[in-house]
């Protein structure tokens, strides 16, 4: 549907420009939102009003920027990461982050490591200004397939020498690049969250929709079932179900099974949200009126009812992603979710479980920070959407 | 309980003055209409009782008239309106509609498919100008939807007809690409009216169309409804709780109490000389917009407690609040009084021979004996 | 017609001019009240320069349409304006209680001790939605005794006796049983009675009723209006009644204050407002309501345009875009001065200002039966 701006009224003496409706209705005498007058607002669709209202929410906008950044990481993980998750150099275990430097003669480079062992057999690394490992943008490196389709070997940033290693965020127990692993883990964890929520969404919209639209006995049965599912303690359920996944199963199938198990958390709440909206809308005059206007049952549902709460649904959806991400992280951390060689944020955090490691290589805690940032950002976006979802209120 | 043979408003032998319609054939005849709502309770929705919202209503709507339906909240007037436009399916009774093509159909018995063609001729105007317009649609979509759904117009033709309709209700056609949020309550109510009229209906059920509007806007909507009636040859069922508005716009008035019509008469006859104690009490409760009338007339005050419609009192439903009730007659178990012309029409001159020769009916045992005050 | 130019204490001056004897100063005197809401889109002047006075034992009706600021005025008196609203000017002098000198309610801290004592004790308020104003978590009796004990030194048992007496006084049958009822167990009319019982429990000098009968049926409205009138009779309190219903105004008011878009456009005794309205808005409003007993078919006078939002107020006279008597070049530029016609009788329209309005144009001179038709624009 295209939105066109209407011409202003011809000539003077026309009726007053319709402004904001909030002033009307005899009950409300208090000042509502002042009118933003004019044809632009008058012919703005609801999606546009939601966007205008969302834009005013500063925290939500910040959250949206962060969320978009992480989505890009998910999509272009192989390109952004200098290496794959398994490339290692066992000479450098728990090596600290290297700081990129720039000089006109050398271009962009990092300094190599000088190392010594103390009496506890711990290795201490120091930057060695003599060794210079040059870095390049869009460098040729390991081969990969972008989106699983396009064969490529370019990486955003990496050592000019394809066999060298750089550790911009330090290395782990066996000398793998923490930055690359973090990027790949972010992709796995976030996409598990998204896939899990999409599965939950499908289940929730279908069951909630049936429940809310038909009502009556169907509704009662579905509601009792939802209550039953909600009453089952989630953690033991997950533990049991993930433990039941055969070990020899491939990583891809394991990934989808885990997503499916996690979606069992989110669907019940979504189904209730959908049902509640349907029940509420069924009472609305405009739905009755759509039916009187000759709209078919399908038309009433998909042209009138569903669009009226898509923004609420998107908000609910956004708010349920963090729960799934946290659940995946927790399961993987316990060793029951994703398993090496697949890396997720939970798997990475599993590496940082002892005080000794944290003392020696604090950069291994970065996955935890990523989880916190992602979850907060999604919550801010969800809150902003929820507030903006109903642009006609207040 | 609803006796279909109960004498009710037989069509008047003489044609109503000034109305263009044919008085011989009514537009809509409601006989013994009942609407019960089940009360469900508990985890599995057990049926524990029934609210009788409409309990056996007989009513005839004549072509070209404006019939007012008044009563307190919960009296069933909205339910009756919703039964006529068939967003509700009545529990019992018939709604015989004399369609444009000459056929006579019982709207109460039609299935959804057959109903569609008659729903174009019987339309509803909602009370709430805010919740009745889909916020996601432009006026073009809202007003044009009935035409589109029924395959009557598309594209440019649709736009032309919506534009015409907007002009007819006093809005510039240029507004058709705007969304409802840009309009005030009064303007939205005009959109509502446009949507109802775009199908060129014959009967419009207007459910409290001005109650949610500001005083200064109310007058313009009432005038608009009146103008459109003349221009498009419409018949209105005007549902309202505001007796002064009803007096202003209606030819005849039916007063409802607890699911039943208790009095039905021409507007002037009903307001000047009510025959049912409930009507008298309603009229006396309306504040008059003139301080000099303060304290004049009889002050009749009803008790606050409306009986529970799930358990209506035996006999005359109004006897619990009636000042004239006599225990042995009015509270006697069994069906209450039925709508009848008072036994002694000659006793009070003029009312029975109103301009439209509308019989004055009242459902009261003492309708002939009481001397009630109007305005 | 005596015409005086506006002076800052117009109310007092008019009174003195009216009946030579030294009339007692009004119980409540609002002058130049401004309550503004600062929002992202700008300042909404919900109340912008309101003057009104409520005398002892008087019933003053504040009448106006949505957005005219009548509720905000009432809430400003008790410091109940929610953020971002704020009283930015004017004074609200209260002479009730046992005060020797008036207290300015506008200057008190809305959350402070003094205003809290006045609120509910000396001035109390009844709202439109009785169901929403009563807590569903506590019984009617709990809420009543709480108010009583907050303001009066009573023991629990005394408070309960007093509460039951109050419930009986407002006409609630079987008050001993209803004392333990919750709001959702009562009908709308009963809830409003309970609200009135709570409002009057501490014997306030002024009752502010904000559309208390709008949500009720006419038969119940009539009984609530009777109740307020009889309670006023017996207790001698003053009533400030806010409504949009001119019928209710005619029924109960001693004096009427007509508001439009945050300003008082006309003030006067009820009979004069209804039978000799000065301001074009008052005239149009009166003509647009169908009068009972006039029969069918009277065409109503329309006011063109619509009630604008308080943030879209026009320059000059706020009513001029809808006014039939508007004088181009005058009404759209100058804010009309207040003209005082007599004791408590004012109007804010240039038609009565010498030199601005043309005397022949005074719409009050035309026959009210002649209705002018205005183009339909809702």
Residues B327-340: tens digit of each pLDDT: 888 888 877 888 88
3-class secondary structure, C322: helix
List Cβ neighbours of B58 (8 Å cut-off, separation of 6 or more): B2, B6, B8, B9, B30, B31, B32, B33, B261, B339
Question: Using the beta-carbon criterion (under 8 Å), do A392 and B181 form an inter-chain contact?
Answer: yes
Contact A37, A19 (CB under 8 A): yes
**pLDDT (0 to 100) of residue C60:** 95
What's the CATH code of the domain at A365?
A: 1.10.3720.10
Partners of residue A110 on adjacent β-strands: A133
Strand ranges inside chain C, DSSP E: 28-39, 42-54, 59-63, 85-94, 103-104, 123-126, 206-210, 238-243, 255-260, 263-269, 338-342, 345-348
Tokens matching residue A81 = 């990461």
Tell me: do A161 and A303 sit in the same domain: no
**pLDDT per residue over C154-199, tens digit each?**
899 999 999 999 898 888 888 888 899 888 888 888 888 899 899 8
- A170, A191, A223 — which closes off a domain? A170
CA proximity to B275, closest of B188, B357, B359: B359
Contact A329, A189 (CB under 8 A): yes
C282 to chain A, closest Cα gap in Å: 18
Chain A contact for C241 (CB, 8 A cutoff): no
CA proximity to C167, closest of A387, C375, C159: C159
Contact B339, B6 (CB under 8 A): yes
Question: Using the beta-carbon criterion (under 8 Å), do C221 and B281 form an inter-chain contact?
Answer: no
**What is the 3-state secondary structure of chain A?**
CCCCCCCCCCCCCCCCCCCCHHHCCCCCCCCCCCCCCCHHHHCCCHHHHHHHHHHCCHHHHHHHHHHHHHHHHHHCHHHHCCCCCCCECCCCCCCCCCCCEEECCCEEEEEEEEEEECCCCCEEEEEEEEEEEEEEEEEEEEEEEECCCEEEEEEEEEECCCCCCCCCCCECCCCEEHHHHHHHHHHHHHHHHHHHHHHHHHHHHHHHHHHHHHCHHHHHHHHHHHHHHHHCCHHHHHHHHHHHCCCCCCHHHHHHHHHHHHHHHHHHHHHHHHHHHHHHHHHCHHHHHHHHCCCCHHHHHHHHHHHHHHHHHHHHHHHHHHHHHHHHHHHHHCCCCCCCCCCCHHHHHHCCCCHHHHHHCHHHHHHHHHHHHHHHHHHHHHHHHHHHCCCCCC
Which chain B residue's Cα is nearest to A9?
B174
* C-alpha separations of C219 from A42, B222, B278 in Å: 41, 24, 10
**pLDDT (0 to 100) of residue B344:** 53
Question: Using the beta-carbon criterion (under 8 Å), do C308 and A23 form an inter-chain contact?
Answer: yes
Would B40 be classed as within a structural domain?
A: yes
What's the rounded Cα separation, in Å, for the pair B145 and B134? 11
Which chain C residue's Cα is nearest to A32?
C309
* C-alpha separations of A312 from A43, A52, B315 in Å: 22, 16, 51
> 3-state DSSP helix/strand/coil percent for chain B, to nearest 5?
30, 20, 50
Q: How confident is the model at residue C31 (pLDDT cuts 50, 70, 90)?
A: very high
Tell me: do A283 and A344 sit in the same domain: yes
Would B167 be classed as within a structural domain?
A: no
Contacts of A29 in chain C (CB under 8 A): 66-72
Contact C289, C250 (CB under 8 A): no
**pLDDT (0 to 100) of residue A391:** 60
Q: Which residue has the tokens 């939807």?
A: B145
Q: Lowest mean pLDDT: which of B58-72, B258-272, C272-286, C293-307?
A: C293-307
Cβ count near A105 (within 10 Å)? 6
CA proximity to C92, closest of C6, C161, C156, C34: C34
Would B188 be classed as within a structural domain?
A: no
Chain C: touching chains (3 or more CB pairs < 8 Å): A, B
3-class secondary structure, C50: strand
Radius of gyration of chain A (CA): 27
Which chain C residue's Cα is nearest to A27?
C66
Would B316 be classed as within a structural domain?
A: yes
Tell me: do A281 and A135 sit in the same domain: no
Task: Note the helical H segments in chain B.
Answer: 77-84, 112-119, 139-149, 155-168, 185-197, 215-232, 243-249, 267-272, 277-285, 327-330
- Helix axis angle, A178-214 to A306-333, nearest 10°: 140
Would B168 be classed as within a structural domain?
A: no
Would C366 be classed as within a structural domain?
A: no
Q: Give the alpha-carbon dihedral of B72, B75, B81, B87, to 10 degrees.
A: 120
Number of domains in chain B: 1
Asked if residue B307 has pLDDT above 50, the reply is: yes
Chain B: touching chains (3 or more CB pairs < 8 Å): A, C
3-class secondary structure, C148: helix
Tell me: do A225 and A330 sit in the same domain: yes
Question: Using the beta-carbon criterion (under 8 Å), do B220 and C377 form an inter-chain contact?
Answer: yes
Would C71 be classed as within a structural domain?
A: yes
Asked if residue C378 has pLDDT above 60, the reply is: no
Mean predicted confidence (pLDDT) in C208-236 = 89
Chain B contact for C254 (CB, 8 A cutoff): no
Task: Note the helical H segments in C214-344.
Answer: 218-235, 246-252, 270-275, 280-288
Radius of gyration of chain B (CA): 21
**pLDDT (0 to 100) of residue C29:** 93
Tell me: do A291 and A376 sit in the same domain: yes
Would B138 be classed as within a structural domain?
A: no
Which chain A residue's Cα is nearest to C310?
A31
Q: What is the pLDDT along chain A (394 residues), one digit of tens a residue?
A: 333 333 333 333 333 333 333 333 333 333 333 344 456 677 777 777 778 888 888 888 888 999 899 999 888 888 888 888 777 777 777 788 888 878 887 778 878 777 787 777 777 788 777 777 888 788 787 788 777 778 888 888 888 777 777 888 888 878 888 888 889 888 888 888 888 888 888 888 888 888 887 777 888 888 888 888 888 887 788 788 888 888 777 777 888 888 888 887 678 888 888 888 888 888 888 888 888 888 888 888 888 888 888 777 888 888 888 888 888 888 888 877 777 778 888 888 887 777 877 778 888 888 888 888 988 998 888 888 877 776 655 4
Q: How confident is the model at residue C376 (pLDDT cuts 50, 70, 90)?
A: very low
Contact A150, A135 (CB under 8 A): no
What's the CATH code of the domain at C70?
A: 3.40.50.300
Asked if residue C2 has pLDDT above 80, the reply is: no
Would C281 be classed as within a structural domain?
A: yes
Contacts of A46 in chain B (CB under 8 A): 135-136, 179
HSE-up (13 A, CA, CB side) for residue A290: 24
Would C47 be classed as within a structural domain?
A: yes
Is the ipTM, as predicted for this complex, more than 0.90?
no
Among residues of chain B, what percentage have pLDDT more than 90? 42
What's the rounded Cα separation, in Å, for the pair A42 and B54? 42
Would C165 be classed as within a structural domain?
A: no
Among residues of chain B, what percentage have pLDDT more than 70? 87
Q: What is the DSSP letter of C121?
A: H
**pLDDT (0 to 100) of residue B350:** 43
Contacts of C66 in chain B (CB under 8 A): 214
Cβ count near B217 (within 10 Å)? 30
A15 to chain B, closest Cα gap in Å: 8
Asked whether the CA dihedral C170, C175, C180, C186 is positive or negative, the reply is negative
Would B294 be classed as within a structural domain?
A: yes
Q: H or E element: which one contains B206?
A: strand B203-207
Would B101 be classed as within a structural domain?
A: yes
Would A87 be classed as within a structural domain?
A: no
**pLDDT (0 to 100) of residue B80:** 94
Which chain C residue's Cα is nearest to A17?
C305
What's the rounded Cα separation, in Å, for the pair C49 and C31? 7
Tokens matching residue B270 = 């009903």
Which chain C residue's Cα is nearest to B295?
C251
B317 to chain C, closest Cα gap in Å: 17
3-class secondary structure, B118: helix
Number of domains in chain C: 1
More confident residue, C266 or B182: C266
List Cβ neighbours of B344 (8 Å cut-off, separation of 6 or more): B368
Peptide bond between residue C84 and the one before it cis (omega within 30 degrees of 0): yes
- A170, A204, A230 — which closes off a domain? A170
Shortest CB distance from C217 goes to which of B73, B244, B248? B73
Contacts of B291 in chain C (CB under 8 A): 250-251, 253, 270-271, 274
**pLDDT (0 to 100) of residue C250:** 92
**pLDDT (0 to 100) of residue A392:** 58
Would C219 be classed as within a structural domain?
A: no
Shortest CB distance from A30 goes to which of C71, C244, C307? C71
Number of Cβ pairs closer than 8 Å across B and C? 168
Chain A: touching chains (3 or more CB pairs < 8 Å): B, C
Q: What is the DSSP letter of B127?
A: S
Domain of A146? Answer: 94-170
Peptide bond between residue A341 and the one before it cis (omega within 30 degrees of 0): yes
* C-alpha separations of A246 from A239, A254, B300 in Å: 13, 9, 83
Domain of C93? Answer: 25-57+66-109+249-291+313-357
Asked if residue B154 has pLDDT above 70, the reply is: yes
Partners of residue A117 on adjacent β-strands: A123
Tell me: do A223 and A98 sit in the same domain: no
**pLDDT (0 to 100) of residue C62:** 95
Shortest CB distance from C312 goes to which of A19, A30, A32? A19
Tell me: do A136 and A70 sit in the same domain: no
What's the rounded Cα separation, in Å, for the pair C168 and C228? 14
Domain of B273? Answer: 1-64+86-117+241-375
Q: Lowest mean pLDDT: which of B76-90, B343-357, C246-260?
A: B343-357
Question: Using the beta-carbon criterion (under 8 Å), do B294 and C250 form an inter-chain contact?
Answer: yes
Contact B125, B193 (CB under 8 A): yes
Would C201 be classed as within a structural domain?
A: no
Tell me: do A255 and A304 sit in the same domain: yes
Number of domains in chain A: 2
* C-alpha separations of B81 from A15, B85, B91, B122, B137 in Å: 33, 7, 14, 11, 26
- Which site among A14, A219, A294 would you substitute to test the B interface, given the most B Cβ atoms closer than 10 Å to its Cβ? A294
Which chain B residue's Cα is nearest to A3?
B177
Would C276 be classed as within a structural domain?
A: yes
Question: Using the beta-carbon criterion (under 8 Å), do A24 and C128 form an inter-chain contact?
Answer: no
**Does pTM surpass 0.95?**
no
Question: Using the beta-carbon criterion (under 8 Å), do B124 and A292 form an inter-chain contact?
Answer: yes
Would A283 be classed as within a structural domain?
A: yes
**pLDDT (0 to 100) of residue C359:** 46
**pLDDT (0 to 100) of residue C356:** 63
CA proximity to C208, closest of C101, C79, C15, C34: C79
What's the rounded Cα separation, in Å, for the pair A52 and A58? 12
Residue B60 buriedness (CB in 10 A; 0-12 / 13-18 / 19+) = buried
Q: How confident is the model at residue B2 (pLDDT cuts 50, 70, 90)?
A: very low
């Amino acid at each position: 549907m295209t939105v066109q701006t209407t011409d202003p009224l011809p000539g003077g003496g026309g009726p007053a420009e319709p402004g904001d409706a909030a002033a009307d209705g005899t009950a409300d005498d208090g000042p509502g939102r002042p009118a933003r007058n004019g044809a632009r607002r008058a012919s703005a669709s609801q999606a546009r009003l939601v966007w205008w209202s969302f834009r005013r929410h500063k925290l939500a906008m910040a959250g949206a920027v962060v969320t978009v950044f992480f989505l890009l990481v998910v999509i272009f993980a192989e390109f952004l990461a200098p290496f794959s998750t398994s490339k290692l150099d066992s000479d450098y275990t728990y090596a600290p982050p290297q700081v990129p430097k720039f000089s006109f003669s050398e271009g962009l480079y990092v300094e190599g490591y000088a190392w010594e062992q103390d009496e506890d057999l711990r290795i201490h690394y120091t930057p060695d200004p003599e060794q210079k490992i040059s870095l390049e943008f869009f460098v040729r490196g390991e081969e990969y397939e972008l989106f699983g389709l396009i064969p490529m070997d370019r990486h955003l940033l990496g050592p000019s020498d394809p066999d060298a290693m750089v550790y911009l965020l330090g290395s782990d127990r066996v000398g793998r690049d923490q930055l690359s692993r973090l990027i790949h883990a972010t992709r796995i964890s976030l996409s598990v969250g998204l896939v899990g929520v999409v599965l939950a969404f499908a289940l929730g919209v279908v069951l909630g929709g049936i429940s809310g639209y038909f009502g009556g006995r169907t509704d009662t049965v579905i509601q009792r079932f939802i209550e039953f599912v909600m009453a089952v303690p989630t953690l033991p359920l997950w533990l049991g179900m993930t433990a039941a996944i055969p070990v020899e199963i491939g990583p891809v199938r394991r990934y989808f099974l885990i997503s499916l198990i996690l979606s069992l958390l989110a669907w019940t709440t979504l189904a209730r949200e959908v049902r509640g909206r349907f029940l509420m809308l069924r009472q609305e005059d405009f739905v009755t009126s759509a039916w009187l206007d000759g709209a078919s049952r399908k038309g009433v549902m998909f042209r009138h009812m569903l669009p009226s709460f898509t923004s609420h649904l998107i908000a609910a959806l956004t708010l349920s992603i963090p729960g799934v991400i946290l659940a995946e992280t927790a399961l993987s951390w316990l060793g029951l979710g994703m398993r090496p060689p697949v890396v997720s944020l939970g798997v990475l955090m599993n590496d940082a479980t002892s005080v000794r490691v944290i003392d020696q290589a604090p950069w291994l805690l970065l996955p935890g920070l990523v989880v916190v940032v992602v979850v907060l950002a999604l919550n801010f976006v969800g809150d902003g959407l929820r507030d903006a979802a109903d642009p006609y209120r207040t | 309980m609803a006796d279909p043979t109960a004498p009710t408003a037989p069509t008047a032998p003489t044609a109503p003055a000034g109305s263009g319609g044919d008085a011989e054939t009514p537009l809509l005849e409601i006989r013994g209409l009942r609407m019960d709502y089940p009360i469900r309770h508990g985890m599995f929705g057990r049926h524990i009782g029934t609210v009788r919202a409409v309990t056996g209503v007989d009513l005839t709507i004549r072509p070209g008239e404006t019939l007012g339906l008044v009563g307190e909240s919960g009296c069933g007037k909205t339910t009756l309106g919703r039964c006529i436009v068939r967003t509700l399916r009545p529990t019992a009774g018939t709604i015989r509609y004399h369609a444009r093509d000459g056929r006579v159909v019982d709207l109460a018995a039609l299935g959804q498919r057959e109903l569609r063609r008659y729903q174009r001729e019987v339309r509803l105007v909602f009370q709430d100008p805010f919740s009745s317009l889909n916020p996601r649609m432009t006026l073009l979509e809202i007003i044009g939807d009935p035409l589109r759904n029924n395959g009557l117009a598309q594209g440019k033709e649709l736009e032309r007809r919506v534009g015409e309709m907007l002009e007819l209700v006093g809005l510039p056609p240029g507004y058709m690409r705007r969304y409802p949020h840009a309009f005030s309550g009064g303007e939205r109510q005009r959109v509502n009216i446009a949507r109802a009229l775009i199908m060129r209906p014959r009967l419009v059920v207007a459910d409290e169309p001005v109650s949610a509007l500001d005083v200064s806007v109310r007058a313009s909507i009432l005038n608009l409804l009146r103008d459109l009636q003349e221009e498009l040859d419409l018949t209105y069922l005007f549902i309202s709780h505001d007796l002064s508005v009803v007096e202003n716009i209606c030819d005849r008035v039916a007063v409802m109490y607890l699911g039943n019509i208790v009095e039905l008469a021409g507007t002037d006859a009903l307001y000047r000389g009510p025959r049912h104690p409930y009507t008298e009490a309603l009229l006396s409760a309306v504040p008059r917009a003139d301080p000099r009338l303060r304290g004049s007339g009889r002050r009749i005050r009803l008790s606050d407690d409306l009986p529970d419609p799930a358990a209506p009192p035996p006999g005359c439903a109004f006897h619990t609040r009636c000042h004239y009730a006599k225990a042995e007659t009015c509270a006697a178990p069994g069906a209450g009084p039925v709508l009848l012309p008072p036994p002694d029409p000659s006793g009070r001159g003029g009312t029975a021979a109103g301009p439209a020769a509308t019989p004055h009916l009242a459902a009261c045992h003492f309708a002939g004996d009481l001397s009630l005050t109007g305005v | 017609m005596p015409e005086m130019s506006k002076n800052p204490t117009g109310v007092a001056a008019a009174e003195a001019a009216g009946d030579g004897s030294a009339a007692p100063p009004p119980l409540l005197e609002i002058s130049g009240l401004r309550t503004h809401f600062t929002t992202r889109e700008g300042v909404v002047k919900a109340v912008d320069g309101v003057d009104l006075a409520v005398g002892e034992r008087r019933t003053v009706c504040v009448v106006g349409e949505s957005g005219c600021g009548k509720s905000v005025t009432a809430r400003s008196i008790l410091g109940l304006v929610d953020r971002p609203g704020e009283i930015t000017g004017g004074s609200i002098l209260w002479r009730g209680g046992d005060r020797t000198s008036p207290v300015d309610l506008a200057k008190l801290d809305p959350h402070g001790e003094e205003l809290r004592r006045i609120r509910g004790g000396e001035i109390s308020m009844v709202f439109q939605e009785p169901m929403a104003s009563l807590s569903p978590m506590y019984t009617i009796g709990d809420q009543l005794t709480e108010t009583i004990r907050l303001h009066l030194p009573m023991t629990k048992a005394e408070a309960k006796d007093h509460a039951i007496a109050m419930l009986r006084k407002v006409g609630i049958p079987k008050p001993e049983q209803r004392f333990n009822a919750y709001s959702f167990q009562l009908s709308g009319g009963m809830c409003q009675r309970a609200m009135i019982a709570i409002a009057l429990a501490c014997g306030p000098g002024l009752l502010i009723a904000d559309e208390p009968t709008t949500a009720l049926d006419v038969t119940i409205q009539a009984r609530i209006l009777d109740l307020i009138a009889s309670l006023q009779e017996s207790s001698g309190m003053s009533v400030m009644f806010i409504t949009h219903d001119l019928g209710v105004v005619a029924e109960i008011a001693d004096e009427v204050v007509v508001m439009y878009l945050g300003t008082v456009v006309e003030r006067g005794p009820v009979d004069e407002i209804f039978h000799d309205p000065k301001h074009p808005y008052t005239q149009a409003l009166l003509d647009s309501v169908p009068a009972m007993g006039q029969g069918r078919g009277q065409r109503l006078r329309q006011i063109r345009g619509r009630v604008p939002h308080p943030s879209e107020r026009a320059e000059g006279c706020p009513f001029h875009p809808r006014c039939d008597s508007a004088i181009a070049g005058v009404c759209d530029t100058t804010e009309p001065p207040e003209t005082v016609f007599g004791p408590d009788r004012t109007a804010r329209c240039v038609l009565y200002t010498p030199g601005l309005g043309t005397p022949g144009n005074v719409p009050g001179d035309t026959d009210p039966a002649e209705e002018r038709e205005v183009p339909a624009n809702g």
